[in-house]
Amino acid sequence: MAQKTTENGSSRGARYALVNRITNETKIQIAVSLDGGFITLDKSIFPEKTYTTSAEQHASQSTSSQVISINTGVGFLDHMIHALAKHGGWSLIVECIGDLHIDDHHTTEDVGIALGAAFKEALGTVRGVKRFGTGFAPLDEALSRAVVDLSNRPYAVIELGLKREKIGDLSCEMIPHFLESFAQAAHITLHVDCLRGFNDHHRAESAFKALAVAIKESISSNGTNEVPSTKGVLF
């Protein structure tokens, strides 16, 4: 059974969450600010080290507006989450210690779940935002489209048309599963399609970038403090 603790933005600023999720298969810590800015962890889940390898820094970036550090142990997954955070305008720290001696399934699925839970916690009540978002993103010959609804009705349709068995150490079948897991835990509806492209790396990365654009639009202000629903509620 998973153990999960969360901390919302009340003590750290608006639209912030800290999620710790521990199971027999993975140990995960995620901090996210949906509006960027400086974030940090009180304590890392990783053992203390006197050095950091270049492989652990490939999905890390710090600018005046964002702090991003992704370390799941699966390089291409780190790369995709980095793209999601960067183009979504998030500051995001993801740490995961998973049972990669088995395969990449538990790590990928559980990080998707934990990231979705952190997103939902950080967003809070769906009020005063656009709710719907659409994004298109190209990467060379590849073009993807994403459509998001902050519906509180979890659903995902993912059509990426990937042909390879793996990209790096990430199984291609786990890429849509990560997005499905994220949508379920975030309580959102999302549709992500790769419209064209022949390189699987490009197809997958354009999909994550399109999703980032769509989410960024969906959580942006609509200029009111109203619930964006004819029902008057979203739950």
DSSP codes, 100-141 = TTT-SHHHHHHHHHHHHHHHHHHH-S--SB--EEEEEEEETT
Average pLDDT over residues 46-63: 74
Hunting for tokens 């395969």 — which residue is that? 103
Residues in the chain: 235
Statement: residue 233 has pLDDT above 90: no
pLDDT tens-digit readout, 89-129: 999 999 999 999 999 999 999 999 999 999 999 999 999 99
Mean pLDDT of the chain: 93
At the fourth CATH level, the homologous superfamily of domain 16-45+56-219 is Imidazole glycerol phosphate dehydratase; domain 1 (3.30.230.40)
Statement: residue 182 has pLDDT above 70: yes
In the prediction, which pLDDT does 52 show? Answer: 59
d(CA 114, CA 111): 5
Band (pLDDT 50/70/90 cuts) for residue 14 is confident
Helix (H, G, I), strand (E, B) or coil at 166: strand
**Does the pTM of the predicted model rise above 0.85?**
yes
Of 9 and 60, the one with more pLDDT? 60
What residue segments make up the domains of the chain, in order of their start?
A: 16-45+56-219
pLDDT tens-digit readout, 138-166: 999 999 999 999 999 999 999 999 999 99
CA–CA distance from 116 to each of 20, 97, 111 (Å)? 12, 18, 8
Percentage of the chain exceeding pLDDT 90: 86
Average pLDDT over residues 72-85: 98
